[in-house]
Amino acid sequence: MEIGIEQLRKTVDAVEDKKGRDIAILDIKEISSITDYFLIVTGNTTIQTKAIAEHLDEKLGEIGIPVLRIEGLREASWVLIDCGDLVIHIMTPEARAFYSLERLWGDAKEVNL
């Protein structure tokens, strides 16, 4: 199933419902076969990253995006939600700075909604 721009927009809206910040969407279709998009978001604390992830788990089905699995919810410094064509990374500021996914995937196109 291909993820559309409107679905990405609604997903970002759901992240913003829980005050996620520094939202970035990377289009990695051309450089990787693992997924089409990364959505990367920062939560201020592990409590907030967990709240964002749980909210998305509820909302993604309504948006028409299946959740295949969720990793890292217990520790919640980096929660990964695998939706097949979309992989969502919800990270604390420290984890985001350490792993620097935008730099690691620097050849990806950033999607501006």
pLDDT at 72: 97
pLDDT at 67: 97
Distance CA 94, CA 54 (A): 21
**Share above pLDDT 90 across residues of the chain, in percent, rounded to a whole number:** 97
pLDDT at 53: 98
Two tokens, residue 91: 């990270």
Q: Is 69 exposed, middle or buried (0-12, 13-18, 19+ CB in 10 A)?
A: exposed
Give tens-digit pLDDT for 18-61.
999 999 999 999 999 999 999 999 999 999 999 999 999 999 99
Which among 60, 51, 96, 66 is positioned nearest to 78, based on CA atoms? 96
pLDDT at 42: 98
Which among 89, 43, 87 is positioned nearest to 67, based on CA atoms? 87
Distance CA 43, CA 40 (A): 10
- Residue 2 — very low, low, confident or very high, per pLDDT cuts 50/70/90? confident
Per DSSP, helices labelled H in 1-113 are 5-17, 46-63, 93-99, 101-104
Give the domain ranges of the chain: 5-110
- Residue 88 — very low, low, confident or very high, per pLDDT cuts 50/70/90? very high
Q: Which fold has domain 5-110?
A: Beta Polymerase; domain 2 (3.30.460)
Q: Assess whether pLDDT exceeds 70 at residue 1.
A: no
